[in-house]
Amino acid sequence: MREILQAIVNGILLGGIYSLIAIGLSLIWGVMRIINWAHGAMVMLSMYITFFAYSMFGLDPLIALPLVAVIMFIVGYILQMILVERTLDSPWISRLCATFGLMMLLESLALLFWSSNWRAIPVTYGTWTFCIGGIFISFSRLVAFSLALLMALALHLFLNRTEIGKAIKATAQDREAAALMGINIHNIYRITFGLGLAATGVAGASLMTFYFVFPKVGFPFALTAYIVCVLGGLGKLNGAVLGGLIIGIAQSVSAYLISPEYKMAVSFVIFLAVLYFKPGGIFGGVTE
Amino acid sequence: MKKNPFPYNMFSIIFVLIILLLLPIFIKNPYFLDIAITVLLYTFLGNAWNIVGGYCGQASLGHAAYYGIGAYVSTILFLKFGISPWVGMIVGAVFAGILAIVLGYPSLRMKGPYFVFFTIGFAETIRILFLTWKWVEGSRGIIIPFQNNPVNFIFFSKIPYYYIILSFLIFGMFITYLISRSKIGKYSIAIREDETMAEALGIDTALYKSYAFAISASLMAIGGSFYAQYVLFIHPNDLMSLNNSVIFMLIAVAGGKGTLFGPLIGSAVIMPLWEYFRATFGGRFAGLGIVFAGSIILIIGTSAPQGIMGILTKIRAKYSISKDNIVGEEK
Amino acid sequence: MQKSNIIFQIRGVSKSFGGVKAVNQVSFQAQEKEIIGLIGPNGAGKTTLFNLITGFLKPDEGYIYFQDRDITNLKPHRICQLGIGRTFQVVRPLSTLTVLENIVTATLLRHNNYKDAKEYAIYIAQVMGLVSKINKIAGGIPIADKKRLGFAQALATGAKLLLLDEVAAGLNPTEVDEFLNIIRKVSLEGLTIIMVEHVMKAVMNVASRILVLDHGELIAQGRPEEVTKNEKVIKAYLGDQYKF
């Protein structure tokens, strides 16, 4: 019994990170109707940036985190400007090619420059663990989880309470109307992409407190993030949060009950089931 | 101008065909012959993808599953039941076709990225299934014992393999040609252009998508069987990977999706370079091949959606416009 | 009056979207060879009604019959196969194909042989005045031709009932007259037509009966002269401020 509870707790903690990655993806989709197939590679990129912040400047990942988030925001802004923008009016297969190609490029360049060796950061608090009622909670994972939720909350507040945030929501609903109201659509898109990547920045930096990075590390995270988005409803941010937790728990519990190899399979089965029975996801996101 | 009923330059086709037929006579080095076989195989596979992805507009990133299923069906029938891979190949093709219809059914109403998600998820699930399935040796893969015997579809020299895959390719492209001139093809194109409009014109989009899928999957499976008999080792991660699915799509898209010769051009350009990178560079430089492929996909996505064929067509259009100006008004 | 066949019936059909009734208990019927005009202010539910009839939307309640057959819950392609053709308010040509290929895609429904399909497509192109453009890419032709193409495609599917959604919008008076002539000709050959229109002159001149939709409800129907004098209709268009 305790083991299952432990699995659930671990699942929730990891799920928070899935949620954060998924929120970035969902936001980009909700506003621009683009699936960023390079999202996982962006997580990988932020993890490497965090690692180098440590290996070159001795920065602890949690300290480097805000910096990484800002860097990723800028990266996102620029990528949108020079790359993704060109595909906005193209058929979706072009957008698929553009972001997918970006992913392949990033992963292979990472392999080229940084080799396939696993890199990890030996943080001082790496082995700190709490024990509550017989359940072990790793300090790093708890911090990562909290940061993920904080970032989600920050995004929520930003979108609903600030002028720019509302402009983003307006553009998401009706891009032509927003343009007619004087909103600079292209700028909004760049900011949105930047925010989406900033979220991966926070996720990546958090991950470096207990995980390791290698060129293809982003792939399983990306796949899971897509599943989470579909589960929660594309474009629905609270769906992404809830979906992340659900998938996190599902993966963790199935890894314990069946075997770790099946954890992706279980996620896929959930995902296929959602696509078949309720394509809009839990919260009925955009299906177009 | 009377519209050319056969819009391809017969002369250049025959020319290319003769070159392809005579190639093994001039290329004795087995390494280069292997590259040639790889190019032809991937053209065949890209052509199969093109039927459902290029002509029908249903860009599946899960086709590697059918590739793998074809390989596994013919191999299992051969090693466990003594059935010749030639027959097993046909069985695999039929099985893949039926599977595509049955499992594809839920995806028929999914649009855009949801459809892509579904195909990725589907293929990954199949891959994991095969990885953990003891009866097909799962993660150990299957080695096909080398018994040089044409009946068993195993040959010592590469040359028979070359001609076999060349014939398969000609067959596959012929099928694509027939489809493009038939009702299935015209309807598929309509579905690709505008599914709503297609429905309004009386086209049963679900049915025709299924047709395209079934044909595409069957051809894919045949390619898989060929691969199994050529390489004599099959493993779920080699066959059913997302990487493979992407390459199939890339070859068709880079060459020109929805065109007959797109996959040939795409494969001829990409596969030799890919093989070169893979063989020459190991370890961290294995990434170079993917840097290359990734850049191509990126450029296609942002600047050249119609691929190389599209660029060629534009050049030809510009050229013929200036030609017309010289020749004068055409009737 | 000569008794004609009732080819189309719609009874008590409603459709809501998130609490708003876009179509509310609409009932009417059409006889063979009739040309019916469907008018009403913007947002009255006219296109929704078309979508309901052609199977793109499912009614919440009510029935739709075509040639004595219940088509209420059929899929769009099935309804087209049974003989109802439509155009779209925003034209949707298959842009990368030629005009001829566009029409052939439609004629393939009734002609399995590609050669026959092509011949019939050329005939339709002649009827619609598109023959000089058959090899042009559909995405690049002017809007009036795109509308002609949409009409041609609907005709080419062998439709017995044609639903036209604002064919006259964006056309100059000459083009509108051309369309009206085609509509008259086609109706004489046995087709029934229901046309949604905003261009009053167009619809009043060619329709034998007018239906008026407002806020999803059928508020009036009758001959053009009667309907224009109907107070409810005037109010619907001009609002309550205008008193008579």
Per-residue pLDDT tens digits for C135-150: 888 888 998 899 999 9
Query: Are B288 and A108 a contacting pair at CB < 8 A?
Result: yes
Query: Are B183 and C157 a contacting pair at CB < 8 A?
Result: no
Distance CA B292, CA A83 (A): 17
Does B154 or C9 have the greater pLDDT score?
C9
In this prediction, residue B325 carries a pLDDT of 45
Burial of C46: CB neighbours in 10 Å, binned 0-12, 13-18, 19+: buried
* Residues in chain B within 8 Å Cβ distance of C77: 198-205
Is the sign of the CA dihedral A205, A211, A212, A218 positive or negative? negative
Residue in B4, B201, B208, B209 to test binding to C, most C beta-carbons within 10 Å: B201
DSSP chain C: -PPPPEEEEEEEEEEEETTEEEEEEEEEEEETT-EEEEE-STTSSHHHHHHHHTTSS--SEEEEEETTEE-TT--HHHHHHHTEEE--SS----TTSBHHHHHHHHHTTT--SHHHHHHHHHHHHHHTT-GGGTTSBGGGS-HHHHHHHHHHHHHHTT-SEEEEESTTTT--HHHHHHHHHHHHHHHHTT-EEEEE-S-HHHHHHH-SEEEEEETTEEEEEE-HHHHHH-HHHHHHHH-TT---
Query: Are B183 and C114 a contacting pair at CB < 8 A?
Result: yes
Query: Among partner residues C55, C77, C101, which is closest to B204 by beta-carbon distance?
Result: C77
Q: B131 at the A interface (CB within 8 A)? A: yes
| pLDDT tens digits, one per residue of B210-248 | 999 999 999 999 999 999 999 989 999 888 988 889 889
Instruction: Specify the pTM.
Output: 0.85
Task: Look at residue B7 and tell me whether its pLDDT is greater than 60.
Answer: no
In this prediction, residue B215 carries a pLDDT of 95
Nearest chain B residue (CA) to C94 = B193
The residues near C80 (Cβ < 8 Å, ≥ 6 apart) are B199, B200, B201, B202, C54, C109, C157, C159
In this prediction, residue C241 carries a pLDDT of 54
* Nearest chain C CA: its distance from B51 CA (Å): 17
What is the separation of C-alpha B321 from the centre of its chain, rounded to a whole number of angstroms?
A: 34
Task: Look at residue B113 and tell me whether its pLDDT is greater than 80.
Answer: no
ipTM score assigned to the predicted complex: 0.87
Strands B233-234 and B142-143, sheet pairing? antiparallel
Contacting A residues, span 199-228, partner chain B, CB-CB under 8 Å: 215, 223, 226-227
Distance CA C98, CA C120 (A): 16
* Residues in chain A within 8 Å Cβ distance of B105: none
* Residues in chain B within 8 Å Cβ distance of A107: 287, 290, 294
Query: Are B3 and C135 a contacting pair at CB < 8 A?
Result: yes
* Nearest chain A CA: its distance from B30 CA (Å): 29
Task: Tokens 């492209």: give the residue.
Answer: B173
Task: Tokens 């359940």: give the residue.
Answer: A135
C-beta atoms surrounding B295 within 10 Å: 15
Query: Among partner residues A116, A262, A271, which is closest to B121 by beta-carbon distance?
Result: A271
Q: A102 at the B interface (CB within 8 A)? A: yes
Q: B102 at the A interface (CB within 8 A)? A: no
Q: Which of C187, C164, C184, C181 is nearest to C91 (CA)?
A: C164
* Nearest chain C CA: its distance from B3 CA (Å): 9
Q: Are C64 and C70 in contact (CB under 8 A)?
A: yes
Q: Are A262 and A255 in contact (CB under 8 A)?
A: yes
How many CA atoms lie less than 13 Å away from A40 in the CB half-sphere?
21
Average pLDDT over residues B124-130: 87
Query: Among partner residues A99, A100, A287, which is closest to B246 by beta-carbon distance?
Result: A100
Burial of B189: CB neighbours in 10 Å, binned 0-12, 13-18, 19+: buried
C-beta atoms surrounding B235 within 10 Å: 20
Q: A99 at the B interface (CB within 8 A)? A: yes
Q: Which two tokens stand for residue A176?
A: 């032509």
* Residues in chain C within 8 Å Cβ distance of B109: none
Q: Which two tokens stand for residue C140?
A: 């690049």
Distance CA B91, CA B76 (A): 11
Query: Are B187 and C88 a contacting pair at CB < 8 A?
Result: no
* Long-range CB contacts (within 8 A, 24+) of C182-185: C182/C127, C182/C128, C182/C151, C183/C35, C184/C35, C185/C127
Q: Compute chain B's Rg from CA coordinates.
A: 20
Q: B288 at the A interface (CB within 8 A)? A: yes
* Nearest chain B CA: its distance from C114 CA (Å): 7
Average pLDDT, chain B: 83
* Long-range CB contacts (within 8 A, 24+) of C200-209: C200/C39, C201/C176, C202/C168, C202/C176, C203/C37, C203/C39, C203/C168, C204/C37, C204/C228, C205/C180, C206/C35, C206/C37, C206/C180, C207/C35, C207/C36, C207/C37, C208/C34, C208/C35, C208/C36, C209/C34, C209/C35, C209/C36, C209/C37
* Long-range CB contacts (within 8 A, 24+) of B263-269: B263/B43, B263/B46, B263/B47, B263/B49, B263/B50, B264/B43, B264/B47, B264/B173, B265/B307, B265/B308, B265/B309, B266/B43, B266/B46, B266/B307, B266/B308, B267/B39, B267/B40, B267/B42, B267/B43, B267/B46, B268/B39, B268/B43, B269/B308
C-beta atoms surrounding C153 within 10 Å: 29
Q: A261 at the B interface (CB within 8 A)? A: yes
DSSP A162-202: SHHHHHHHHHHH-HHHHHHTT--HHHHHHHHHHHHHHHHHH
Terminal-residue alpha carbon distance, chain A: 43
Measuring CA to CA, how many Å separate A23 from each of A13, A227, B117, B222?
16, 12, 17, 41
In this prediction, residue C35 carries a pLDDT of 92
Query: Among partner residues B59, B113, B121, which is closest to A35 by beta-carbon distance?
Result: B113
Task: Look at residue B324 and tell me whether its pLDDT is greater than 60.
Answer: no
Distance CA C238, CA C228 (A): 12
In this prediction, residue B331 carries a pLDDT of 33
* Residues in chain B within 8 Å Cβ distance of C106: 201-202
Q: What is the 3-state secondary structure (H, E, C) of chain B?
A: CCCCCCCCCHHHHHHHHHHHHHHHHHCCCHHHHHHHHHHHHHHHHHHHHHHHHHHCCCCCCCCHHHHHHHHHHHHHHHHHHCCCHHHHHHHHHHHHHHHHHHHHHHHHHCCHHHHHHHHHHHHHHHHHHHHHCHHHCHHHCEECCCCCEHHHCECCCHHHHHHHHHHHHHHHHHHHHHHHCCHHHHHHHHHHHCHHHHHHCCCCHHHHHHHHHHHHHHHHHHHHHHHHHHHCEECHHHHCCHHHHHHHHHHHHHHCCCCCCHHHHHHHHHHHHHHHHHHHCCHHHHHHHHHHHHHHHHHHHHCCCCHHHHHHHHHHHHHHHHHHHHHCCCC
Q: Which residues of chain C carry a pLDDT beneath 50?
A: 1-2, 243-244
Dihedral, A77, A81, A83, A86 alpha carbons, nearest 10: 140
Distance CA C107, CA C113 (A): 10
CA angle centred on B291, ends B221 and A64, rounded to 5°: 120
C-beta atoms surrounding A278 within 10 Å: 14
Terminal-residue alpha carbon distance, chain C: 35
| pLDDT tens digits, one per residue of B271-310 | 887 777 776 766 656 667 777 777 887 888 777 777 888 8
* Residues in chain A within 8 Å Cβ distance of B290: 104-105, 107-108, 111
Query: Among partner residues B181, B189, B200, which is closest to C76 by beta-carbon distance?
Result: B200
Dihedral, B215, B221, B224, B229 alpha carbons, nearest 10: -110
Query: Are B106 and A99 a contacting pair at CB < 8 A?
Result: no
CA angle centred on B284, ends B280 and B289, rounded to 5°: 55
Q: Do chains C and A touch (3 or more CB pairs under 8 A)?
A: no
> What is the mean pLDDT for each group of 10 consecutive residues in chain A (288 residues)?
84 89 90 88 94 90 91 93 82 81 87 86 82 84 86 87 85 79 84 92 90 88 88 82 90 84 80 77 59
Q: Which of C73, C47, C22 is nearest to C196 (CA)?
A: C47
Average pLDDT over residues B45-58: 91
Contacting A residues, span 267-286, partner chain B, CB-CB under 8 Å: 268-269, 271-272, 275-276, 279
Distance CA B17, CA B170 (A): 9
In this prediction, residue C57 carries a pLDDT of 92
Task: Look at residue B5 and tell me whether its pLDDT is greater than 50.
Answer: no
Residue in A79, A108, A268 to test binding to B, most B beta-carbons within 10 Å: A108
Strands B233-234 and C84-86, sheet pairing? unpaired
Nearest chain C residue (CA) to B181 = C114
